């Protein structure tokens, strides 16, 4: 459990290392999607281990480096890798960087991930904008004493993902010649992939994709009144939809293939955010 002073400590450590830098957008780069961070030339790179209380990821494809840069004219924090509940972190630990970013001035969060397609009409390699999520009774980052400095005890979750950001993301994609899907993300803790029976049930209950991340960060950002954009790369058809056994290697291979388009798309989205705020 964290207290407000823990978030303040991490934010002031970063502020001291980055004098005068006020980030506007936090981008969390999901499994296999961290390449954008490598391509940024002018940047300050801070390993998570140097930031007080920041959880340090061990998952494959998650480097654990905070990249501080100006991208498309927007001061951004890029998280190259995130932590997950399946690594043994609590939901509050997984979401810790969101509140740190909020205290630094960030009001827009772009959460990206690799996920499995539950909607049989979707295909591997497509992107999906998250319109909503289903978390059911899993871990919850907001359990514990409420931090009133961030938001209310009983936060509304009826519009976690910003409609406006989704429109902008769709327009940015059109400019690159593709149309992302839109749908509901079902959260599982992992680390195992789901069973075919689970996937059939999730589909009946309204899921379009399934993954092991994003939801705690999205809830924490929504609690703090931040604008959230969620983007899934569909790296595989979920269990039982295709007859192939699932593997982490398949997820990373699909992410690698989509990396160039993904990176161009994020830059275009940031350009739109920059233009809008001028």
Choice between 64 and 116, CB closer to ligand HPA = 116
Choice between 37 and 116, CB closer to ligand HPA = 116
For position 235 contacting ligand HPA by CB under 6 A, the verdict is yes
For position 132 contacting ligand HPA by CB under 6 A, the verdict is no
Q: Which region, judged by CB under 6 A, interacts with ligand HPA, from 7-15, 83-91, 172-180, 205-213?
A: 205-213
The long-range contacts involving 258-262, CB below 8 angstroms and separated by at least 24 positions, are 258/33, 258/125, 258/127, 258/233, 259/32, 259/33, 259/35, 259/36, 261/176, 261/178, 262/33, 262/36, 262/112, 262/127, 262/233
Q: Which of 126, 211, 221, 227 binds ligand HPA (CB under 6 A)?
A: 211
Burial class of residue 249 in the structure, from the number of CB atoms within 10 Å of its CB (0-12 exposed, 13-18 middle, 19+ buried): exposed
Residues of span 84-123 touching ligand HPA by CB under 6 A: 114-116
Choice between 77 and 234, CB closer to ligand HPA = 234
Choice between 255 and 270, CB closer to ligand HPA = 255
Q: What are phi and psi of 208, to 5 degrees?
A: -110, -25
Pairing of strands 127-134, 227-237: antiparallel
3-state secondary structure of 248: helix
For position 236 contacting ligand HPA by CB under 6 A, the verdict is yes
Q: Which of 87, 93, 168, 194 binds ligand HPA (CB under 6 A)?
A: 194
Q: What angle do CA 187, 193, 194 make, to 5 degrees?
A: 70
For position 26 contacting ligand HPA by CB under 6 A, the verdict is no
For position 29 contacting ligand HPA by CB under 6 A, the verdict is no
């Amino acid at each position: 459990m964290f207290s407000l002073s823990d978030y303040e400590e991490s934010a002031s450590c970063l502020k001291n290392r980055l004098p005068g830098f006020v980030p506007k957008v936090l981008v969390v780069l999901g499994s296999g999607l961290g390449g954008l961070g490598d391509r940024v030339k002018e940047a300050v790179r801070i390993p998570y281990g140097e930031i007080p209380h920041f959880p340090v990821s061990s998952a494959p494809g998650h480097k654990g480096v905070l990249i501080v840069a100006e991208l498309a004219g927007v001061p951004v924090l890029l998280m190259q890798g995130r932590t997950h509940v399946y690594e043994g972190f609590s939901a509050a630990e997984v979401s810790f960087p969101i509140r740190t970013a909020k205290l630094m001035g960030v009001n827009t969060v772009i959460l990206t991930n690799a996920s499995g397609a539950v909607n049989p009409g979707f295909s591997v390699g497509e992107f999906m904008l998250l319109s909503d999520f289903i978390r059911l009774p899993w871990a919850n980052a907001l359990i514990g004493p409420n931090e009133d400095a961030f938001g209310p005890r009983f936060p509304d979750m009826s519009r976690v993902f910003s409609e406006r950001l989704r429109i902008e993301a769709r327009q940015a994609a059109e400019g690159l010649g593709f149309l992302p899907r839109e749908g509901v993300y079902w959260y599982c803790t992992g680390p195992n992939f789901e069973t075919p029976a689970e996937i059939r049930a999730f589909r009946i209950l309204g899921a379009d994709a399934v993954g092991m991340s994003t939801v705690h960060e999205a809830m924490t950002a929504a609690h703090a009144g931040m604008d959230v954009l969620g983007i899934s790369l569909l790296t595989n058809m979920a269990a039982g939809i295709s007859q192939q056994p699932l593997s982490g290697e398949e997820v990373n291979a699909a992410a690698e293939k989509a990396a160039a388009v993904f990176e161009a798309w994020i830059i275009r989205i940031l350009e739109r955010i920059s233009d809008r705020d001028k």
